[in-house]
Every structure is written in C-alpha cells, then in structure tokens.
C-alpha cells in the first residue's frame, strides 16, 4: 500500500486522523522508527514542521538553504545569542543538511552512561546489530584517504607531522560527486539522508506524512496521551494558516529533537517534575581559519572527511574535544569569522586559499558541565540557555592552540581564531598570545550543529525522562526517539547513534500498540 505525503498548501481543511502510532518529527530517529513500524504492518502518521524538499528543488544557494531547510531560518541560537545552533527543519530533519559524518557510539560513553545513569541495556554488543543494519541501508563506509579534499588534508597533514591520531571519517553516501554542497541539500541525491532512504521506504509501505505542520501539544488524559494537535503553517512565513491536524493514536512518539522535543512537552504541560529540558547538551564548537599559499577551495569536495580524537579524553578534570574540518561557503564564512568591514572583505577575498579546523567540546561528562536548559518564554517561544563553566572555556583555549599548531604544521601562512577582537597569528611562535586572550560568550564565535539531551534516558524515574526502551516514565503510551534521550554529549557526530537507538526501539514501540 502506497502512503501519502501532504504539504501545507494541499491541506485546505481541518483533518482528524486515527492511526496506530503517531510520530512527531522526520529526522534521524523518527524516520528509522517509521520505516520499521510500517514494515510491521502498523498504520503510522508522521507530522513534520518543515517542508518537503529534494534534489529537484534544492537551489544550492546559502540564502535559500538557510531560509527553507534550517530551524529559525538558520538563526537559531541560545537565548543570549552567544552560541549559534545549526539544526535542520525539513522532511528528513538535520540529515538533509548535515555533512554525512557517521560514528557508532563510543564504548567509553556507553560505559559512562551505565555507571552514572543506569543504562545497562544499552551496550556496544546490544547496539551492534542495529548499527550494522543502518550501515547497510545508508551505505556508511570510510571515505577513501585519496579523496580527502584540501581542506581536510590540512588536518591530516598537520596531525601526522605532530604525531597526533587522525583518520578518514565514515560517511552515509552512495556515488558521491564531491560537490561540497551537503549543507544545502545534496544536489544529486547521493547523501543517504532520511528523505531519500527510510522515509521513502516507509512511504512505499503506507506511511502518511503531513509536512508544514507544527505539533503544538499533546492531549493528556489520565496519564496517557490521547492525541496530538498540530497547526498547518504557511511555508513562507511559518505562521499558522488556521487549519488544524488532530491525530488520535494508540502510541505517540516525539522525534523532533533535543530543543523542539522538550518544548513540545512543556507546551503540553508535561514537565516530569522539572526534568524535561534539563541537561540539553551541545558539542560547543570553536574554530580557526588559516590562509595557505596553495589553493584550498574549502567549498568543494566532501566537506567532512577526516577527523582526530587525539584530545577527546583529557582526563577527569578537563573537558576533551575532537577535531574535524568544515566547508566554508561565503555566508557561513562571514558568519563564523567574526570579521567586519575590511577584515571581512579580506577573509572573503582569500576564501579560495583558506582552510578551517573545528574543535567540538564534549560536554556533560565533567561534573561541572551540566549542559543547557530548554524552557518556554511567556509568549510560548523557545528559550534555550547554555551557561559555560570554566572547564569549558579552558577547553576552548586549549583547542585554539592545538588547531593553530596543526595549521602551521600543515603550512599555514597565518591563523585567525574568530575572536571579536581579532587574533591573528603569523607562526607557532605566536601561540603564547592565546594565553592572554579571553574566552567565553561574546569573546569569540561559538557554534554547534549537534543537539543532545533534554529528555534523558535512565533507569531511575527521579532523574530521567525515559527508560532504556525510550518509553516515558510518566506516560506509558509515549516514547521519545531522537537525540534528546542521550544523557551526555557523545564526543562523536550523533546521527548514527540516533539511527541505532531508533532501530532498536522499533520492536518496543510496536509491542506497545
């Protein structure tokens, strides 16, 4: 039975729909779960706030991409605007715009969860068959070292010269053309994003998707979810068009991410005694740009194809970080460079010779790094606070020195650290300058494309929101299947962890119908 995909402009009247399972969100968690459930013969309805786009209407223009494919038109940030949060908002979620990097959950992270949060059922061995299946479906393989672009080769060459661990990354692509436009939607459909894979699998078997529909609230009766109410949005303005979708189901699943998911529960009056929205984790990112004699063309080639975990574990008293490279298209370079006026002009003039390195700090493992908090403002909008402890600022400082050292080892002529007061280094002899500059909010650019936590899993209902089957402790017919269940940041890109947990959850969700 072929399913249906409705877009907002096609929904001309209110809908009242019944099904076995309603899933809110179509990203890494919701898509994998939906495909498994419909293949089990269940009737599944999915609500997605974003629109539907694919390679036929990706425009490969940064302005259009941020406007159409990202949360808050690409301007999502913490409440004080000190951290920019890049997150997808389209059918397929962030998988449509991410840079394809895939890691299995590190064993050290799983052991930390077991010791601190009672997640004994989530182990390397229990996740292995689920990882193997999604790797097969999504074509996840290590990217060949001889196809690493110049931007990533900087990281490879610099790390090797300094004796640091570095290796090619694994990517979910098939027949990749090295376009470099992953963040704007793959122009040839080579990226195995959810709209190309698990969503399509589910549609082929009967899934119904309502896109351009924002889930406003769950309706709760006697500690049980009875329905979810959504508003049809105008795609150009994101304002409600006055038409409503109400889905009544036996089982409900929140798969709308670590920021929107907690907000949906809070709008529904579900707080889990204050646990909803707490410990919302990022991998806070700082970076350096470096100018080289030879062309880098950071906007072409597989955007993220090498990485180093040399510094991911810096001991119990420090916050570790991992290193990757990133594409630099003009708008992203302007946003990330913290440069204005003539300095911004110089950055863009040298863009073809500029490389960038990123350091992603692993929050949530150190006792002082408790992540952020999602709350609602008085008008219902999301308020996301993310305080930064001294250990996180030390991590930024150390990472800047490491990345500058790697860049110079790879042949950089000069290195910039994206401080608001520009810090430009001419050689590794200038590294001592970084000991003098300040770190933290509004001192330099901070980003994150990874959102985790906020509906944490654990065995104890007193300090977690869902159990290890991802069922909510307080709502037995309601599950959370996305990155919000992760108790800490991962120290790796999170998409494959979410794929694997969603694949594992299929059986438990199906059994609860």
Position 330 confidence tier, pLDDT thresholds 50, 70, 90:
confident
Looking at residue 342, what is its pLDDT? 72
Percent helix, percent strand, percent coil in the chain, to nearest 5: 30, 25, 45
pLDDT at 1 over 70: no
pLDDT at 18 over 80: yes
Residues 28-87 have pLDDT tens digits of 999 999 999 999 999 999 999 999 999 999 999 999 999 999 999 999 999 999 999 999
Unique residue bearing structure tokens 């209110």: 14
Position 340 confidence tier, pLDDT thresholds 50, 70, 90:
low
Residues 99-154 have pLDDT tens digits of 999 999 999 999 999 999 999 999 999 999 999 999 999 999 999 999 999 999 99
Cβ contact 448:286 at 8 Å: no
Looking at residue 336, what is its pLDDT? 65
| Long-range contacts, 147-150 (Cβ 8 Å, 24+) | 147/178, 147/301, 147/302, 147/305, 148/301, 148/302, 148/305, 148/306, 149/178, 149/180, 149/297, 149/298, 149/300, 149/301, 149/302, 149/303, 149/305, 150/294, 150/295, 150/296, 150/297, 150/298, 150/301, 150/355
Q: What is the C-alpha to C-alpha distance for residues 434 and 427, in angstroms, rounded to an integer?
A: 12
Pick from 259-263, 321-325, 328-332: least confident: 328-332
Report the pLDDT averaged over residues 302-328: 96
pLDDT at 410 over 70: yes
Q: What is the C-alpha to C-alpha distance for residues 217 and 363, in angstroms, rounded to an integer?
A: 30
Position 324 confidence tier, pLDDT thresholds 50, 70, 90:
very high
pLDDT at 337 over 80: no
Report the pLDDT averaged over residues 159-176: 98
Structure tokens belonging to residue 110: 């799983």
Query: Of 233, 249, 227, 278, which Cα lies nearest the Cα of 89?
Result: 233
Looking at residue 339, what is its pLDDT? 65
Q: What is the mean pLDDT of the chain?
A: 95
Looking at residue 68, what is its pLDDT? 96
Unique residue bearing structure tokens 């640091």: 164
Report the pLDDT averaged over residues 229-244: 96
- Comparing 347 with 471, which gets the higher pLDDT? 471
Percent of the chain with pLDDT over 90: 93
Query: Of 226, 223, 286, 232, which Cα lies nearest the Cα of 250?
Result: 226
Looking at residue 188, what is its pLDDT? 96
pLDDT at 344 over 80: no
pTM: 0.97
Unique residue bearing structure tokens 């301007």: 75
- CB-CB neighbours of 265 under 10 Å: 25
């Amino acid at each position: 039975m072929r399913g249906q995909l409705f877009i907002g402009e096609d929904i001309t009247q209110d809908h009242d729909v019944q099904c076995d399972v309603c899933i809110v969100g179509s990203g890494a968690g919701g898509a994998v779960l939906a495909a498994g459930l419909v293949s089990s013969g269940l009737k599944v309805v999915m609500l997605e706030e974003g629109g539907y786009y694919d390679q036929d209407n990706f425009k490969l223009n940064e302005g259009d991409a941020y406007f159409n494919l990202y949360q808050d038109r690409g301007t999502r940030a913490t409440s004080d605007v000190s951290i920019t949060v890049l997150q997808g908002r389209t059918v397929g979620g962030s998988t449509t715009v991410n840079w394809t990097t895939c890691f299995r959950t590190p064993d050290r992270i799983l052991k930390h969860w077991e010791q601190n949060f009672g997640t004994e059922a989530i182990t390397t061995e229990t996740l292995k068959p689920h990882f193997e299946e999604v790797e097969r479906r999504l074509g996840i393989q290590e990217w060949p070292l001889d196809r690493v672009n110049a931007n990533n080769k900087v990281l490879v060459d610099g790390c090797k010269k300094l004796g640091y661990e570095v290796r090619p990354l694994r990517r979910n692509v098939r027949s990749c053309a090295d376009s470099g436009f992953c963040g704007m939607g793959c122009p040839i459909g080579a990226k195995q994003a959810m709209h190309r894979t698990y969503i399509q699998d589910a549609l082929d078997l009967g899934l119904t998707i309502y896109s351009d529909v924002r889930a406003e609230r769950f309706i709760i009766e006697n500690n049980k979810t009875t329905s979810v109410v959504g508003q049809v949005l105008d795609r150009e303005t994101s304002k409600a068009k006055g038409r409503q979708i109400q889905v009544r189901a036996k089982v409900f699943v929140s798969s709308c991410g670590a920021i929107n998911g907690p907000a949906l529960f809070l709008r529904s009056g579900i707080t889990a005694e204050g646990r909803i929205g707490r410990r919302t984790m990022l991998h806070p990112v700082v970076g350096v740009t470096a100018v080289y004699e030879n062309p880098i063309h950071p906007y072409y080639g597989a955007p993220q194809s090498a990485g180093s975990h040399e510094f991911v574990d810096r001991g119990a008293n420090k916050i570790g970080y991992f290193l990757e490279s990133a594409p630099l298209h003009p708008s992203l370079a302007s946003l990330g460079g913290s440069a204005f006026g003539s300095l911004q002009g110089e950055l863009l003039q040298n863009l073809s010779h500029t490389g960038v390195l990123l350091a992603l700090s692993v929050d949530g493992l150190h006792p002082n790094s408790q992540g952020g908090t999602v709350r609602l403002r008085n008008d219902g909008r999301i308020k996301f606070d993310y305080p930064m402890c001294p250990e996180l600022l030390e991590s930024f400082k150390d990472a800047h020195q490491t990345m500058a050292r790697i860049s110079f080892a790879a042949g950089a002529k000069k290195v910039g650290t994206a401080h608001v007061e520009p810090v430009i280094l001419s050689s590794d002899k200038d590294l001592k300058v970084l000991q003098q500059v300040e770190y933290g909010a509004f001192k330099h650019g901070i980003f994150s494309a990874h959102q985790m936590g906020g509906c944490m899993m654990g065995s104890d209902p007193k300090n977690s929101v869902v159990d290890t089957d991802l069922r909510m402790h307080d709502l037995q017919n309601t599950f959370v299947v996305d990155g919000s269940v992760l108790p800490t940041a991962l120290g790796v890109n999170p998409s494959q962890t979410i794929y694997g947990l969603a694949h594992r959850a299929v059986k438990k969700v199906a059994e609860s119908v």
